[in-house]
Amino acid sequence: MNSFPIYLDYSATTPVDPRVADKMIPYLTHSYGNPASRSHCFGWDAEQAVQLAREQVAALVNADPKEIVWTSGATESNNLAIKGAAHFNQGKGRHLVTLKTEHKAVLDSMRELERQGFAVTYLDVERNGLLDPDCFKEALRPDTILASVMLVNNETGVIQDIAALGALCRKRGVLLHVDAAQATGKVDIDLARLAVDLMSFSAHKTYGPKGIGALYVRRKPRVRLQAQMHGGGHERGLRSGTLATHQIVGMGEAFAIAHAEMGAENERIRMLRDRLHASLSELEEVFVNGDLERRVAHNLNLSFNHVEGESLLMAIKEIAVSSGSACTSASLEPSYVLRALGLSDELAHSSIRFTLGRFTTLAQVDFAAALIKQKIGKLRALSPLWDMYKEGIDPGTLQWAAH
């Protein structure tokens, strides 16, 4: 039995796992102390809970708990890493490198640094969404202080070769920041082996609560940042503000569950994703956006040619997904990530991102596939571009008046 709508937008956010919620609640009502209170057991209990969570987060990525700094989420982590490292190291150089397909939290932090006089190189990716390491190597300059590359892309789910990029950066004395918001619980991360200096995490993409995240800051060799939030000197002065104990406990538990279950969970999700893909591939003119092999198991980003994304979303309101179509955003521009992969505007407008997760079932996937196939048929029967395609005319070769 399916209950509706079916949620297939796990890369937007995930539900809090009930096991996580259970752990959080006592820290709202009972163990409500301030972890910074050193003079009584309320504070000591909270401090102990925060310490356990720090160990749980560190364990998932094989880091030292002392390397974990709590933040409000991956956006804040990205801001602190990029601006904090740039400000601290500006005596060494004022150049940074990133990708055009990064999250807005990275791109807008870079834009802010440009306003402050830093120079930023925004690298193109290949047609499959992956970065060519040679292209990255050429972009590093003597005055480059930091590179920021995401591990898993939020739209396409492709996995960048962080190990290779880290080795290049280490050799050139460039700090490497990695946004891993979409990666935790989906790919193995071993910070003892990866030459990564800073890594951003979010709880709510991994079945934890919204409003909490963390930044990994390497200790050996030591990475130094300039704080962006000033106050009581919490988190070794890197991020002031009273720690949100219940949120932190939730993130710790969520990451501990991910650590214990990710192997089996990813196999199950991959099977469901492949089933969805196989079923939708029975339609004509369906294209996968981004590399299908070097991609997390959860993501399927497809373009249904000659059908506009928002009209498809309206037709499949029984399932919750997102689209790269301009019509679903306020900007009227199609997805900049898909455009960076070299997709035509038309194919970007026709894209749908399906992201599966822990609570996705076989029945849900089968329902979604059948519904989409039916509605694509209906919308293509409405589409003049589909008629042209069927008559052997490529709409892309015609002269169209922009409007």
List the one residue from 203, 307, 356, 372 that touches another protein (CB under 8 A): 307
Residue 14 CB, shortest distance to another protein, in Å, is 24
Using CB under 8 A, pick the residue from 222, 282, 330, 397 that binds another protein.
Answer: 330
Measuring CA to CA, which residue among 372, 371, 367 is closest to residue 351? 372
- Closer residue to another protein, CB minimum distance, 21 or 327: 327
CB of 339 vs another protein, minimal distance in Å: 11
Answer yes or no: 327 catalytic: yes
Among 344, 366, 367, 371, binds another protein (CB under 8 A): 344
Nearer to another protein, 247 or 323 (CB): 323
Q: Which positions from 364 through 403 interact with another protein, judged by CB under 8 A?
A: 381-387, 395-396, 400-403
The minimum distance between CB 354 and another protein, in angstroms, equals: 20
Residue 335 binds another protein, judged by CB under 8 A: no
Mapping DSSP onto H, E and C, the string for the chain reads CCCCCEECECCCCCCCCHHHHHHHCHHHHCCCCCCCCCCCHHHHHHHHHHHHHHHHHHHHCCCCHHHEEEECCHHHHHHHHHHHHHHHHCCCCCEEEEECCCCHHHHHHHHHHHHCCCEEEEECCCCCCCCCHHHHHHHCCCCEEEEECCCECCCCCEECCHHHHHHHHHHHCCEEEEECCCCCCCCCCCCCCCCCCEEEEECCCCCCCCCCEEEEECCCCCCCCCCCCCCCCCHHHCCCCCCCHHHHHHHHHHHHHHHHHHHHHHHHHHHHHHHHHHHHCCCCCEEECCCCCCECCCEEEEEECCCCHHHHHHHCCCEECEECCHHHCCCCCCCHHHHHCCCCHHHHHCEEEEECCCCCCHHHHHHHHHHHHHHHHHHHHHCHHHHHHHCCCCHHHCCCCCC
Q: Is 303 one of the binding residues for another protein (CB under 8 A)?
A: no
For the bound state, the minimum distance from the C-beta of residue 300 to another protein, rounded and expressed in Å, comes to 22
Report how far apart, in Å, the C-alpha atoms of 323 and of each of 116, 154, 231, 306 are: 34, 12, 40, 14
Structure token pair of residue 9? 């937008």
The CA distance from 248 to 24, in Å, is 8
At closest approach, how far in Å is the CB of 341 from another protein? 16
* Residue labelled with tokens 């990708």: 99
* Of positions 54, 204, 273, 306, contacts another protein by CB under 8 A: 306
Least gap, CB of 378 to another protein (angstroms): 9
C-beta of 192 vs 330, nearer to another protein: 330
Scanning 68-76, 132-140, 150-158, 300-308 for contacts with another protein by CB under 8 A, the matching segment is: 300-308
Residue 304: CB minimum distance to another protein, A:
11
State which residue, 27 or 386, has the beta carbon closest to another protein. Answer: 386
Which residue, 296 or 319, is less far from another protein as judged by CB? 319
Backbone angles phi, psi at 305, to 5 degrees: -60, 140
The count of residues interacting with another protein (CB under 8 A) is 29
Q: Which is nearer to another protein, 9 or 76 (CB)?
A: 9
* Residue 265: both structure tokens together: 């969970």
Q: Which is nearer to another protein, 264 or 402 (CB)?
A: 402
CB neighbour list of residue 25: distance below 8 Å, 6 or more residues apart: 246
Q: Which of 138, 267, 318, 345 binds another protein (CB under 8 A)?
A: 345
Kindly state the smallest distance separating residue 190's Cβ from another protein, in Å. Answer: 43
Q: Cβ closer to another protein: 105 or 313?
A: 313
Site string for another protein, 310-329 (x = CB under 8 A): xx--x----------xxx--
Q: Which region among 16-24, 218-226, 279-287, 302-310 touches another protein (by CB under 8 A)?
A: 302-310
Residue 350 vs residues 43, 71, 99: alpha-carbon distances, Å? 53, 36, 23
Binding of another protein by 346 (CB under 8 A)? yes
Active site residues: 327
Residues that bind another protein (CB under 8 A): 306-308, 310-311, 314, 325-327, 330, 332, 334, 344-346, 349, 381-387, 395-396, 400-403
